[in-house]
Amino acid sequence: MSQRRYPPGPKGEILFGSMRPFAQDRLNFLIECREEYGDLVHLRILGRHAYLINDPDLVRFVLVEHPELFHKTPLFKRATRNVIGNGLLTSEGEFHKRQRQLAQPAFHHQRIANYGDEMVDFTRQMLDSWQPGAVLDIHEAMMQLTMQIVARTLFHAEVVEDAHQIGTAITTALRFATQRTARPLSLPDWVPTRTNREVKQQTALLHTTIDRIINEHRTTNADQGDLLSMLMLAEDEHGERMSDQQLRDEAMTIFIAGHETTANALTWTFFLLAQYPEIERKLQDEIALLHGLPPTVNDLAHLPYTEMVIKESMRLYPPAWIVPRLAISDFELGGYPIRHNSIVFTSPYTMHRHPRYFPDPERFLPERWTPEQEKTLPRYAYFPFGGGPRVCIGNGFAMMEARLVLATIVQQVQLRLVAGQQITPEPVITLRPAHEILMQADRQEIPIKPELLVQSE
């Protein structure tokens, strides 16, 4: 064990510690801490000790080897409880384990493979609605698309007419939750400020949407082959089913997380492709192997570069940019004593841009993800879906959806960035664009090259 009590880190202010610079520019602050102080950084935030991890082995310790030493942070729970309640993202212990076991079968790879055609159909319907040369906000488009896909495949519901309103409500709720974590001394939810009233109104819209979907299922009381049916009909070892509140919390959690993360990943992917035309051309060449036919789940094994593009996009812009944990016991980490009630941050954003593991880290380079290259990486140098018992339950669903949607869009449309935009990421609960990303959608039919036809024989 180190003779030093704490690892190196910024001193910060006497009262607030590093809270102010962290709140003002979260992403750059974390990168600067890693660059200046190394693999384990000590921070003080509002009188509490906190630690930023920038080492794959230490990430593994926290997420995989010793998850029993940690809980989700109280601040995160307080910030999100009004929206997602006590769902998979916030619950703990045996209750979390039970709820995850009930939901897990819905995400089995054989089951989610059945959703592929619907994912492609929704994407093609969206493309048919775009006028040639139309300028659109790609983030808004991806949010509405993935929302419709999740609603249909996991909840057997339609939200087409309400998609824009629901998207606005989710944006409001996520930004409010982030403000709560960045400004823990702000006024309580029950104080009737303008912001609190707006959040309450938007949250009520989300709850009404989920309640409507649940009630529609209750009228049939039959297994419709979706996640919600499984949750409603599942019984624990005592023969008990979920309460109405538990059902709503899990449905809300999966509804929001199930489309928000994939929409962000796709948005950043199109943003990056527009800046790297040579990569876009290589992707188009691979998709030409489909001979103009809509992609299917069976095609994915023959589209390795498509997967590499998605992985590299999530390296630069991981949907879950930070994973905070509360230490509930004393332990040793990296040779330093960590006391209970300390906060431990693992950050995919800082790890994914670490030059030790990703040379020229700011460059968009899908070739990092060839099988040979990927084998050289430490396991938790890259963890866009987290890890351990709390790894994202829908990671297989998300990767399948992202690849199918990407292939379908690139097959028919070329997206170009509208000039003059200042595009920056906004680290709310997820990593989304701070503002709209305007792109021009030009119709195209990817030519099928003779040499590609030969290769595909």
Lowest-confidence region among 41-50, 111-120, 297-306, 314-323? 41-50
Percentage of residues in the chain having pLDDT higher than 90: 58
Label residue 311 by pLDDT band (50, 70, 90). Answer: very high
Asked if residue 378 is part of any domain, the answer here is no
Report, as an integer, the average pLDDT of 97-119: 89
The model carries a pTM of 0.91
Give the pLDDT score at 454.
40
Asked if residue 377 is part of any domain, the answer here is no
Lowest-confidence region among 103-112, 144-153, 194-203? 194-203
Which residues 6+ apart lie within 8 Å of 444 measured at CB?
Answer: 412, 413, 414
Give the pLDDT score at 190.
60
DSSP assignment of 118-173, as one string? Answer: HHHHHHHHHHHHSPTTEEEEHHHHHHHHHHHHHHHHHH----TTTHHHHHHHHHHH
Percentage of residues in the chain having pLDDT higher than 70: 91
* 251 and 388, same domain (yes or no): yes
Give the pLDDT score at 214.
86
Asked if residue 365 is part of any domain, the answer here is no
* 177 and 200, same domain (yes or no): yes
Label residue 188 by pLDDT band (50, 70, 90). Answer: low
Query: Which residues partner with 53 through β-bridges?
Result: 40, 346
Q: Which residues constitute the domain of residue 67?
A: 1-76+324-360
* 307 and 330, same domain (yes or no): no
pLDDT higher for 19 or 3?
Answer: 19
* 178 and 292, same domain (yes or no): yes
Asked if residue 334 is part of any domain, the answer here is yes
Give the pLDDT score at 240.
78
Provide the mean pLDDT of the chain: 89
- Domain count for the chain: 2
* 37 and 122, same domain (yes or no): no
Q: Read off the CATH number of the domain in which 98 is found.
A: 1.10.630.10
* 48 and 112, same domain (yes or no): no
Instruction: Report helix, strand or coil for 19.
Output: helix
Give the pLDDT score at 274.
98
| pLDDT tens-digit series, residues 378-435 | 999 999 999 999 999 999 999 999 999 999 999 999 999 999 999 999 998 899 999 9
Token pair recorded at residue 165: 């309103």
* 152 and 217, same domain (yes or no): yes
**Is the pLDDT confidence value at 457 over 50?**
no
**Is the pLDDT confidence value at 187 over 70?**
no
Q: Give the residue from 327, 368, 390, 303 showing the smallest Cα distance to 96.
A: 390
Q: Read off the CATH number of the domain in which 351 is found.
A: 3.30.43.20
Asked if residue 9 is part of any domain, the answer here is yes
* 136 and 199, same domain (yes or no): yes
* 146 and 16, same domain (yes or no): no
d(CA 45, CA 52) in angstroms, rounded, equals 12
* 291 and 279, same domain (yes or no): yes
**Is the pLDDT confidence value at 160 over 70?**
no
Give the pLDDT score at 184.
58
Query: Helices 138-155 & 163-182, crossing angle to 10 degrees?
Result: 100
